[in-house]
Amino acid sequence: MPGIDVRCEGVRKGFGTVDAVAPLSVTFAAGRTTALLGPSGCGKSTLLRLIAGLETPEDGRISLGGDDPKTVAGRGGLAMAFQDPSLLPWRSVRANIALGAELARKPDDRVDHLIDLVGLSGFADHRPAELSGGMRQRAAIARSLVSDPDLLLLDEPFGAVDALTRRRLGAELPPLWWESGATAILVTHSVEEAVHLSDRILVLSARPARIVADIPVDLPIGSNARAPEADAHRAIVTKVMTALEGTA
Amino acid sequence: MRQRLRPALVVLVMLALWEAAVWAVGGSVLISSPLSILTYLIEEWHLVLRAAVETTGNAAHGFLWGNLAAVALAALVIAVPISGRLVSAIALLVFSVPLIASGPILRVLYGPGVGPQVTLAALAVYYTTFIALVVGLRAVPRTWTDLIEIYGHGQLVILAKVRAWASFPYLFAGLQIAAPASLLGAMIGEFTGAERGLGVLTLRGMRGLETDAIWALATVSALIAIAAYWALGWLGRRIVGYQPVILLSPPRTVGNRPVQNRIIELALITLAVLMFWQVAMDAAGLNRFFAKRPGDIWVFLSDGGNRETLLAALGQTLAFAVPGYLAGLGLGAGLAALLVVMPGVAGAAMPIAVALRSIPIITTAPVLLLAFGRGATGTIVVVAVMIFFPTLVACMQGLRQTPGQIVELFSSYGAGRWRLLTAAQIPAMLPAFFASARMAVPAALLAVTTAEWLATGKGIGVLMALTASTSNYNMLWSCVVLLCVTAAAMYAVVSWCERAVLSIYASEQLI
C-alpha cells in the first residue's frame, strides 16, 4: 500500500504545567522513513502518540494524507511497534501476529509469509513466554506489518534488546517496511540505528520539543554505504552527534 | 519431593501429638482424639454423607450466583468508571454485614427451604471475586490498550480482546478464595434454621454435647473446604498457567481527597443504600410485618429503651470482638515475622498456613467454643483464630516483598537477622498487614456474632437469635443496621491508622 504524508501544523501538547511538545510544524513525506532523535524526555514519544491519535493536541492540526488520525486508524491504516513487544501472553506467535490483521479488519493471508520473513518459522505455535527478547520483538514487528499499514510508527522498537540482537534486527528487518512503501516514523536513542534505517533524521531539542536539525540520509537503501563501518555512514553520524550536543 | 513430604510429615506429627494429648488427659468431654473422630465417621457415615452433599450442593449454588454477581459488578465498574467508587463502597458495605445477621432476615423473607443457605453462600463469595476481578481487569499494560486503539477501536474491543483475558488468572485467584467461603455461607444459613446439612447436625451436636460429633463434623467441613480450595487452585494452574500474588482487599482509599468530598461521598452511599433497601422491599411486595423499611427502623430507634437494649448488646459484642481482633492481628503478624527469622520452619509452615486459611473458621467455631468455654475466652479465641490465618499468610507474602537488593545491602554490612527484620522487612510488610487488617474487620464481626449466636448468652448475636425466634423484627433489622454502621466505623478507624503509619514507612503507597 502506498504510504501517506503526515503533516503537523502548530501542534502543541502539555501535561499539567509542562509543555511536552511546543508549537511544532513538520511534514513527513509519503513512503519515506524519518527518524526522531533527541534527549530523553524531550517529547519524541508524545509526538508519535499525537500522530497515532492516542493523544489529542491542545493546539494545531495533524493530518495523515488529508484525514485526521482517528479516521485513518478506523480504516486500519495505522500500525505501531513499541519498546516493549507487548505480545499478548495467552496467544501463540501466529495468533499475536494475526491480531494486527484482525484489528485492522484485513485478511490474514500474509501471516505465514511474515512469520517466515522475520525468521520465526519454527515458533509459530509457541507462546511469547517461550521466546527470547529478540524473537518477541520480531513477532511485534511482524504484527505491525501484517495489516499492510499506510503509516508505521516505531517507538524505540529495538530499545529493550541487547546490543548484538539490536544490530541484527536492524540489519534484517528494515527492508520489510521499505519494500511495502509505507511511511515510517522511528523514535530511537541510537544515532547509528537512525542513520542505518532512515531517509531523514530530525534532531529534537530538550522539552518542549522543537526541531533543531533536519539531516537527510541520502544513501541508497540496503547498500553497503549504510553499514556502520562505511565512511558515508560515519559522516552523517558525526553531523547528527554535533546537532545533538547542541541540545544538551 | 522432600519439599512436598515435609508438610505431610508435620501434619502426621501433629495428629500423633493430638492423639497422645487426648490420651494423656484421659478422655475429655471437650476434646476428641483423631481416632474417636474416625470411629464416629465410620459409624455415622450415611448421615454425615447426606448432610455433606446437601451443604456442598447449596454452597455450589451460592458459589455460582455470587461469582456471576461479582462478574457483573466488575463489568459495571470497568464499563462505567465513574461508578467505581460508589459500587465498590456499597459492595463492601453489604459484605460487611455479618452473614449471621442477614441469615435470620433471609429466613423470614424466603420461608423454609434452601434459599437463605444459597443466598448466604453467594453473599460470602461475591466480594472477594469482585475485588480480584477488578484488579485483574485494570492490571493491563498501557501498550496493550494502545495497541488496540491504534486500529481505531474503543473500550469494548479492549475489554473483549485484552482485559477479559488478562483478568483470567486474577479471576481464578478470587474463585479459589471463594470456594471455602461459599461453604461457610451455606453453613451459617443452616445455623439460622434449616432442615438438613452439616450446620444442622453441628447445632444438634452442640445441644446434646456430643463431642465426637462436633469434632467430626468440623473435620469434614474443613476437609471439604481444603479440597475445594486445592481443586480450584489446580484448575487455575491448568487453565491459566500461573497464579498472580494479589492482596484480596479493596484498593486503598486513603488518598488526599478533601474532607467535603468524602462527606458528600458518604452521604451519597448512605442515600443509595437506603433507597435500594426501600425500593427492593417495595418491588418484591414483601410484608411490612417482617420486611422492615428504613422508616420503620427510624421510628423503632426513636424509642430510648430500644436504643439502650441495642447499644448494651453492642457493647458486650465489642468487648469480645476488639480483643480478639487485636490478638488475631498481632499473633498473625508476630508469627510471620518470627517465621522469617527461621526460614527453615517457614518453608514447612507456609503450605499448612495456606491450607488452614482456606478453612472457614466458623465451621470450627463449635469446637473452639467447646474447648475454650462458652464465655469470654471461647468467643475471643474464635475471633482471633478467624483473623489469625489470613493475617499470617498476608504478612508472610508481604515480608517477601522486601527488595532483594536491600536484603543484600544489610548483609554486606554484616547486619543480623533481627536488625534486617526491624529495619527493612517489617516496614516492607506493613502495606500487606494493613490490607489484611481492613479485611479482618468484617471477619471479626462475623466471628463474634456467630460465636454469640451459637453459644454465649450475651451480645448482639444473642439478641438477634432471640428476636428472630420471638418475631421482634424491628429489633432484628435494627441489629443488622447497627452492625453495618459498626463495621463501617471500624473500617474507617483502621484506614486512618493505616494512613498514619504508611505515611511514615511507605509514603509511596499513598496515592
Ranked by mean pLDDT, which of B64-73, B363-372, B400-409 comes out on top? Answer: B64-73
pLDDT at B253: 47
Cell 508435620 found at: B10
Identify the band that residue B249 occupies on the pLDDT scale cut at 50, 70 and 90: low
Pairing label, strands A78-81, A151-155:
parallel
pLDDT tens per residue, range A57-103: 888 899 998 899 999 998 889 999 988 888 988 889 999 999 999 99
Average pLDDT, chain B: 82
> d(Cα A112, Cα B308) in Å, to the nearest integer?
78
* Residue of A80, A144, A151 best to disrupt the B interface, most CBs of B under 10 A: A80
pLDDT of residue A184: 92
Task: Band the pLDDT of B508: cuts 50, 70, 90.
Answer: low
φ, ψ at A216 (rounded to 5°): -75, 145
User: Has residue B305 got a pLDDT over 50?
Assistant: yes
CB atoms A82 and B143 under 8 Å? yes
Contact yes or no for A82 and B147 at CB 8 A:
yes
| Out of A52, A75, A84, closest to residue B150 by CB | A52
Q: pLDDT per residue over B73-99, tens digit each?
A: 998 888 887 787 788 888 888 888 888
Residues B500, B502, B508, CA angle at the centre, nearest 5°?
Answer: 130
- Give pLDDT, residue B202: 86
Residue B60 has pLDDT above 90, yes or no: yes
Q: Do A103 and B153 lie within an 8 Å CB cutoff? A: yes
Q: Do A90 and B144 touch (CB under 8 A)?
A: no
Whether residues B147 and A86 touch (CB distance < 8 A) is answered with yes
What confidence tier does B28 reach under pLDDT thresholds 50, 70, 90?
low
Angle at which helices B168-191 and B426-454 cross, to 10°: 30
Percent of chain B with pLDDT over 70: 90
- A82 contacts on B by Cβ (under 8 Å): 143, 146-147
User: Which candidate from B141, B146, B157 shows the least CB-CB separation from A54?
Assistant: B146
List, for chain A, all residue ranges whose pLDDT scores fall below the cut of 70. Answer: 1-2, 160, 172-175, 222, 248
Q: What average pLDDT does this structure show over B196-201?
A: 88
Mean pLDDT across B419-441: 83
Closest CA to B453 of B432, B443, B468: B468
Q: Which of A49-63, A226-240, B408-422, B475-489 is predicted least confidently? A: B408-422
A133-136 — which CB contacts under 8 Å span 24+ positions?
A133/A85, A133/A160, A133/A161, A133/A162, A133/A165, A134/A161, A134/A162, A134/A165, A134/A168, A134/A169, A136/A85, A136/A87
pLDDT at residue B510 in the model: 47
What integer pLDDT is reported at residue B257 of this predicted model? 63
Distance CA A126, CA A194 (A): 32
What does pTM read for this prediction? 0.76
φ/ψ of A6, rounded to 5, equals -120, 125
pLDDT at B496 over 90: no
Across A52-56, B144-148, B176-180, B309-313, least confident range: B176-180
pLDDT at res. B329: 93
Give the span between the Cα atoms of A208 and B23, in whole angstroms: 81
Phi, psi of A59 (to 5 degrees): -135, 165
CB contact under 8 A, B149 and A73: yes
The pLDDT, as a whole number, for residue A221 is: 73
Chain B partners of A90 at a C-beta cutoff of 8 Å? 165, 168
Whether the per-residue pLDDT at B455 is higher than 80: the answer is no
The pLDDT tens digits of the residues spanning B329-355 come to 999 998 888 887 777 776 677 677 766
Is residue B243 very low, low, confident or very high in pLDDT (cuts 50, 70, 90)?
Answer: low
Q: Band of the pLDDT at B3, cuts 50, 70, 90?
A: low
Cα–Cα distance measured from residue A14 to residue A16, given in angstroms and rounded to the nearest whole number = 6
For the four alpha carbons of B414, B418, B423 and B426, in that order, the dihedral sign comes to positive
CB contact under 8 A, A74 and B146: no
CA angle, residues B3, B9, B10, in degrees to nearest 5 = 100
Predicted pLDDT of residue A175: 66
Q: Write down the pLDDT at residue A6.
A: 92
Chain B residues with CB under 8 Å of a chain A CB are: 141, 143-144, 146-153, 157, 161-162, 165, 168
Supply the pLDDT for residue B254: 43
